[in-house]
Homo-oligomer: A and B are copies of this chain.
């Protein structure tokens, strides 16, 4: 048994206290018209864009022989910020297929006996709709499925128990909003805007970056405890895709101008997401020191939604992602009005997308526990 159990226990308690302080906004639950489970093509495109690279990382860089042994024949995978499917099932199945193939390469002498058992831990915030997730688990899955409620900005698993960690479209969510964005006296006050992507003010950007650095340091410290030496972590995060946030902001301002919403409510609202660059991520990983960077780059996946300027689907996807955080701040009525108005502007947004075409871009990171 390791000698730092006492320290570990203290940490566990600290992490839980931290977890409790946070506000969480899950993807829209259930399987209704505006649910995440029916409106997650955007995340699907991010996932599909990374698939070949995930497979390459496993085949080229994961040493399964060193992770498994006569006494450890279970390969444990975690999906951090899994939401409610179906994307998470596709991602997990893809990883398992690649690990099985790597087993065959590494143990070619007697390949029928070397496939481990797989256990997949689906993680998301405690207010994620795990009932929907569990009820839609693929019936023909070849793994033991487990749900893990809690913030990934904290400890979730026992020390040294995880072989592969995956997170797609999740690490850009901040654990909380930097307070100075809401402070009239701060240079980072983000008046009339709801995100840094539209802000000319670098103080606003810096406030977001500082919060991302803090969150990612806690994230990496927790994962460093949980992932076995030689274990792998793949992080995929949107980078360009969210320049559409401003359309929701402008719908909110329309409501202000029509006297339906108090402007101070918009001033007091910012979307708590930061889209890290390779440089941002390199900095925090190097500072943490527990992981080697195997690959880090911006990649340019196919996006039917963007290439076809399908603004309606795109806005409906973003609604499923943002509904929780909007409703929490503005209430259901205003949130619904802001989303409906934005979706009604689909033709204009589509025209804007064509005139301002930008190839969709995402951050792809492969880390290995030292």
Contacts and interface: CB of A to CB of B under 8 A. Distances in A.
Nearest to A136: B126
A8 B75 CA distance: 14
A292 B338 CA distance: 64
A155 interface: yes
B159 A5 contact: no
A149 B9 CA distance: 27
Interface string A1-45: 111011011001100100010000000000000000000000000
Given A12-B142, A16-B139, A113 B147 contact: no
Nearest to A134: B149
A117 interface: yes
A299 interface: no
Given A73-B2, A112-B6, A149 B149 contact: no
Interface string A61-90: 000000011110110000000000000000
Nearest to A70: B1
A116 interface: yes
Given A1-B113, A149-B137, A161 B126 contact: no
Contacts of A6: 112-113, 115
Contacts of A117: 5, 8-9, 12, 158-159
A156 interface: yes
A176 to B, nearest CB: 18
Contacts of A147: 130, 134, 146-149
A114 interface: yes
Q: What are the 8 tightest A-B residue pairs by CB atom distance, in nearest-first order?
A: A74-B158, A134-B149, A147-B147, A117-B158, A1-B73, A130-B130, A131-B131, A146-B146
Interface of A: 1-3, 5-6, 8-9, 12-13, 16, 20, 68-71, 73-74, 112-117, 119, 121, 126-127, 129-131, 134-135, 137, 139-142, 144-150, 155-161
